[in-house]
Amino acid sequence: MSILLDWASGFFFFIGGLLCITGGVGLLRLPDFFSRVHAAGVTETLATPLLLTGLMLQMDWSLDTFKVFMIMVLILATNPTATHAMAKAALIGGKRPLVANQKQESKKGDQTSKT
Amino acid sequence: MRYLYIAGSLSVLWLLLSGHFIALILFLGGLSVLGVTLILWKMDKTDAEPIKLRPGYKFFHYLGWLFWQVVLSNIDVARRIWSPSLPIEPCWEKLDTEVSTTLEKTLYANSITLTPGTLTTDVSEDHFMIHSLSPEGIEDLRKGEMQRRILKIGLKS
């Protein structure tokens, strides 16, 4: 039984870690702020719960298991608010999202503004 | 009656988080539960629109469905990030909504933001502004399955 639990939690850790790396790669590869927010969403909405589930399977059954579960609920409940606040702040600050058909153009503009 | 219900669930939560059963700590816990309920009562009196969310079977059913959607869209976004050609077409469009009460709007906008690939940037009276990583994301929302499920919960604010 405990070997089964070990394998299950190992599986959750593996997938969670993989998704964390995916989020990081997405942050580097995607072109602008608003699409990067989506990449950050991958780490927050699925990778973190998977890692915490893996942790819960490793723990002995006690009140601490419930506390880890509460952390998971808290992260999932606050994530949309934080993401929305970030996007809204960027919009108010004058950032406009890249849209597909004018992608090339704005990309050039972005580069020139950086240099 | 409603405050008794709130105080009861707060006490259960406190007991689960603390796990100590010494008289002094129990007393302090009871005091903080009382304080929170009192503040809530005062706030309800001040803004005169108490929010009633009774988490019933339908609500948890919706949460389960939402979590499954989160998993699906995570897989989709991860696939887009790892493909060498980076197949994204970001778009930022208006989405017409039919949800009316504040609570339903909050739930809908947060559900949209929670699924990676779509992001609510603005909430108005009858529409949201949605930023999406691909046009398919917005098309799926326009089909309105999520909205139908939220309306089916029957939240009354």
Contact criterion met (CB < 8 Å) for A42 and B88:
no
> What does the pLDDT profile of chain B (157 residues) look like in tens digits?
778 888 888 898 888 888 778 888 889 999 999 999 999 888 888 877 666 666 778 888 888 999 999 999 999 889 888 888 888 888 888 888 888 888 888 888 889 888 888 888 888 888 888 888 888 888 888 888 888 888 888 776 4
In a domain, A81, yes or no: yes
If one counts the domains in chain A, the total is 1
In a domain, A115, yes or no: no
The predicted model scores a pTM of: 0.79
In a domain, A98, yes or no: no
In a domain, A100, yes or no: no
ipTM over 0.85: no
* Residues β-bridged to residue B118: B132
Q: Which residues contact A65 (CB under 8 A, 6 or more apart)?
A: A56, A59
Q: Is B100 on the interface with A (CB under 8 A)?
A: no
Is A106's pLDDT higher than 60? no
In a domain, A29, yes or no: yes
Nearest to B114 among A31, A45, A99 (CB): A45
Continuous segment of H or E residues that includes residue B27: helix B23-47
Q: Is B113 on the interface with A (CB under 8 A)?
A: yes
In a domain, A71, yes or no: yes
| pLDDT tens-digit series, residues A25-80 | 989 988 888 888 888 888 888 999 999 999 998 888 888 888 899 999 999 989 99
Contact criterion met (CB < 8 Å) for B92 and A45:
no
Chain A residue whose CA is closest to B82: A22
Range of the domain at A81: 2-92
In a domain, A9, yes or no: yes
% pLDDT > 70, chain A: 85
Q: Which residues contact B76 (CB under 8 A, 6 or more apart)?
A: B117
In a domain, A80, yes or no: yes
